[in-house]
Structure 1
Amino acid sequence: MKKSLIALALTLLSAPAYAFPVTVDNCGTPLTFDAAPNRAVIQDINMSEMAFALGLQPSIVGVTGITGWYKLDEAFKRQQGSIPELAPKYPTIENLVAANPDFFFAGWYYGMKPGGDVTPDTLAPYGIKTLVLTESCVHLDKNRPAASMDLLYGDIEKLGKIFGRDAEADKLVSGWKAELAAIKGKIGGNGDTRVFLYDSGEDKPFTAGKFAMPSALIREAGGVNIMDDMETSWGTTSWETVAARNPQFLVLLDYQDDAGYQKLLNFLKSHPAMKETDAVKNERFVALRYAEITPGPANIEAIGKIARAMHPEAF
């Protein structure tokens, strides 16, 4: 009997300790949890993939903001399983409250708008705690660092802490860092290829600036975002500015609609200034999905795609 008690005590001591309360930084404000959420709602495909990567499905009662914009692949559908979608685009207060959640993972312009009906402040009276996607914090606080992979790593680590899955989060981040180290080892000092990301827009291109995740992805893949001096995350610029900087490589956003990325490439080929740039003349580009260019697990594969397309000789 004594040996059994000693064995039990040793087992308990060696088990992972998920001590609550836990506090995480939430756009500069502390957010405290007395226990792991058990009725979570997750906005957007990229944040859902973060939650799925940590195996949080048993604690998720709904997702929002997915089918209104994106075509889902079979891998995502398998991970989503029977979790319902509560709203195809931005959720309303009513959509969320009806599911009786205790946690919402979203971001500014990822399911929430500053001054809108759905914000951390409007959800708090219903007992819903909101974790804000770190990349989106810049919309309310311009004093943020430029985009880096810490945007992804940090949010995964926060989710792990909040849901008592620290070890799983650490394992994911360590694995991602190892993958990126291998890519960097292959491309070596090739890090100055001029890259332009083209999301949409014909009068003015909508693209990624200093605070948007693609700037970090491009840097990791051995390039430099030519719009890295835009003091914003996502925004518009002029075609004259882009053409003058003569990009050597393009990242084209593939919304997977009827024309996909091809309509973007066709437009660039017909544009009087852009058709003279090195990237367009040489048709040097990679097409990426929305989930690959917004913070999420797909970022790692996206970096590999960019690196291989931009530096094929290294692979």
Structure 2
Amino acid sequence: MRRGAALAGTVALATLAACGNAATDDEATTAADATPTGAATASGDSSPAGTSDATSTASGPVIIDNCGLQVTVDAPPQRAVTMNQSATEVMLALGLEDRMAGTAYLDDAVLPQFADAYATVPVLSEAYPSQEALLDAEPDAVYGAYPSAFQPDAAGDRAELHELGVSTYLSPAACPDKAPDEPLEIETVWQEIQDIGAIFGATDQAAALVEQQRSDLAEAVAAADDMSSTTVMWWDGGTDAPSVGACCGAPGMIMNAAGLQNVFADIEGNWADVSWEQVAERDPDVIVLVDAEWSTAEEKRDTIESTPGARELPAVADGRFVEVPFSATTPGVRNVRAVADLITGVEGLQ
């Protein structure tokens, strides 16, 4: 849940528009009817690296190579459990709440348009449930956004769950073998939505959602000013050593899509711990403050305004901050709206 009042000079990012409800579930669609989906890059070319490939035949199951593990789904799951907010919101955006036996681990309140549907889904745990608690819900599928969802103290090993008859899916953006210098592309996020649509027999809903998001992103970028020379630091947390968006995770993807320069784009990985001296040397034009319950945007602003070497930066002195909720920094249905709102926020500061 987000907390902390809006700050003067801080532009708060809005939540995803109602495009997440672009379609409702088609109960008549089955996994056998699912059209093949393939990983794609931003150019639309097929590429297996860091993503997943879903295939099906007219009489066979959906088979997905997901983060190096083959996932075979004979029929659309009826009792899925989602681990992490972005996984939960993808399911809700596709109208699949009636296929959810449980959910766990929110970072923020769910998007308003999903609140009623979310209220119908049992919450197994505020954080990760134990495997025992998970299996008590009798799931036939577990969908996680982070590898930590499948650690021994959570759902457990994916292959072992498969042996128990429980299918699993991990967000392709979080594949453990993803190269640290491989930038995340929005196409990978959309491929995830399409994979989930194939698994749950909701290909039409997934296609409609991706099409709407493509349109929304194209419209936002087309209407934007030229900000290619504007530099941005995306600050997630940390005070002595600030954790910032590096080259290749969701923050880098969002900044790139918005046409902005990430001042730490030369550092590999999704996130990187840097020093305040490095921040001062790179002198960003705008600073994004990630608002999380455990590290609020207000706390970050108080910190940077009192840190020698950083408080003198023009961006700090002039209050050039844009606030984003933590949940927007995880690959999922919020990312396109985050791009649009980042554009609006930065334009409002110029």
- Which TM bucket (shorter chain)? 0.7 to 0.9
Alignment of 1:93-242 (within 5 A): 93-113=131-151, 118-137=156-175, 139-142=176-179, 145-242=182-279
Q: Give the aligned CA root-mean-square deviation in angstroms.
A: 2.5
Q: CA offset at residue 75 of structure 1?
A: 4.1
TM-score by length of 1: 0.85
Alignment of 1:210-289 (within 5 A): 210-256=247-293, 260-289=296-325
Structure 1 residue aligned with 2:329: 293
Q: Please, which moves more after superposition, 122-131 or 51-60?
A: 122-131
Which of the two has greater helix per residue? 1
TM-score by length of 2: 0.77
* 2:88 aligned partner, one-letter code: S
**2:87 equivalent to 1:56:** no
Structure 2 residue aligned with 1:6: none
* 2:304 aligned partner, one-letter code: L
SS of structure 2 residue aligned to 1:23: strand
Superposed CA deviations along residues 214-269 of structure 1, whole A, max 9, x for unmatched, are 11111112212222222212342222222211111111111257x83111011111
Unaligned runs of 5+ in 2: 1-27, 35-57
- The answer (yes or no) to whether the contact 1:153–1:173 under 8 Å persists in 2 is yes
Structure 2 residue aligned with 1:4: none
Cα gap change, 1:109 to 1:29, in 2 (>3 Å): closer
Q: CA offset at residue 54 of structure 1?
A: 0.5
Structure 1 residue aligned with 2:37: none
Cα gap change, 1:199 to 1:23, in 2 (>3 Å): same
Distance (whole Å) between structure 1 residues aligned to residue 143 and residue 259 of structure 2: 31
Structure 2 residue aligned with 1:42: 82
Distance (whole Å) between structure 2 residues aligned to residue 86 and residue 115 of structure 1: 14
SS of structure 1 residue aligned to 2:89: helix
Q: CA offset at residue 150 of structure 1?
A: 1.7
Structure 2 residue aligned with 1:7: none
Cα gap change, 1:242 to 1:310, in 2 (>3 Å): same
Unaligned runs of 5+ in 1: 1-11
Aligned length: 296
Q: Name the larger-Rg structure.
A: 1
Superposed CA deviations along residues 142-200 of structure 1, whole A, max 9, x for unmatched, are 26731121231111011011111111111111111111111111225422321111111
Cα gap change, 1:313 to 1:92, in 2 (>3 Å): closer
Structure 2 residue aligned with 1:5: none
- The answer (yes or no) to whether the contact 1:191–1:219 under 8 Å persists in 2 is no
Distance (whole Å) between structure 1 residues aligned to residue 344 and residue 155 of structure 2: 43
* 1:46 aligned partner, one-letter code: S
Q: CA offset at residue 88 of structure 1?
A: 1.2
Cα gap change, 1:112 to 1:285, in 2 (>3 Å): farther
* 2:298 aligned partner, one-letter code: Q
